[in-house]
Amino acid sequence: MDAEDRAGKLLEEIRDTQREHLAEYRRVTQRSLALQEQAVARQEQVSVIYKRIALLGGVLVALLLSLLLYLLVRWSDYLFR
């Protein structure tokens, strides 16, 4: 009986340890998923900011090129004599 009791106790300890490991695995998995969701949200925010900056830069370049063209046409007589 003593061997059976020890075997039963050992099996209970193994079961309890496996439950603890499973609970820890679930906790780590949930944390990992939350971090991934945060990363995706930040990437979306950065993407929106990048698009705005690219649009603003494009408009600025277009305005500067228009100004350069205007100045070249306006002052071409004086510049290219």
Number of structural domains the chain divides into: 1
In whole angstroms, what is the distance from residue 58 CA to residue 50 CA? Answer: 12
pTM of the model: 0.62
Share of the chain above pLDDT 70, in %: 99
In whole angstroms, what is the distance from residue 40 CA to residue 57 CA? Answer: 25
Q: Each residue of 11-23: pLDDT tens digit?
A: 999 999 999 999 9
Distances (CA, A) of 9 to 2, 13, 15, 67: 10, 6, 10, 86
pLDDT at 23: 97
Provide the domain limits for residue 58: 2-79
In whole angstroms, what is the distance from residue 35 CA to residue 43 CA? Answer: 12
> Do 72 and 79 form a contact (C-beta atoms < 8 A)?
yes
Q: How many CA atoms lie within 13 A of 66 on its CB side?
A: 6
Residue 7 tokens, joined: 């075997």
Confidence of residue 62 (pLDDT cuts 50, 70, 90): very high
